[in-house]
Amino acid sequence: MNQIVVDQLRRLSEAEFLGIYESLQQQGFGPLDHEVAKSLNFRPQAIRNLPMAQRAKRARQILASKKSVEMCYELFGSYLIKDRRELVTGFLDATGVPHEQGMVEDLDSICPAADKLEGAIKDLDGKFAASDVTLYLAMCADQWPQVPEIEAHWRKRAGA
């Protein structure tokens, strides 16, 4: 996998990352709070005493320092499926990728149609925040490196 999702992580504002992090919290724990606690030598329960913004900031530092493509991909994918599923399914439908509620079974043999990207992205931009569309394009660029047009669209949007 490429490092495009890590590049996208670096381009997110603190507020954007905090929004993603907070949206994935469960029972007062953020999605990477275990790693955050470990990095601060905290017991897992004690991490709840830190404000979510501070935990999110530390989680972001951990992701960026480890250049953890898989963790970034999992975090962003969870956010998009949980909070922006229609964005994911809209892209997949518009580009001809069969899926089950946004989940693609075989990423290696099924690719988005390059000639349908522009229209799909334009449609998504009319319905969703540009930052979410750009985030999803970063994931798609990592998922489907054999479709270089996806990365080109992401680079143009991200100013990369």
Whole-structure pTM value: 0.91
- Tell me the torsion sign for CA atoms 141, 147, 151, 156: negative
Residues paired with 29 in a beta bridge: 26
- Give the tens place of pLDDT for each residue, 4-58: 999 999 999 999 999 999 999 999 899 999 999 999 999 988 999 999 999 999 9
Determine if residue 75 is left, alpha or beta; phi over 0 gives left, psi from -120 to 50 gives alpha, anything else beta.
alpha
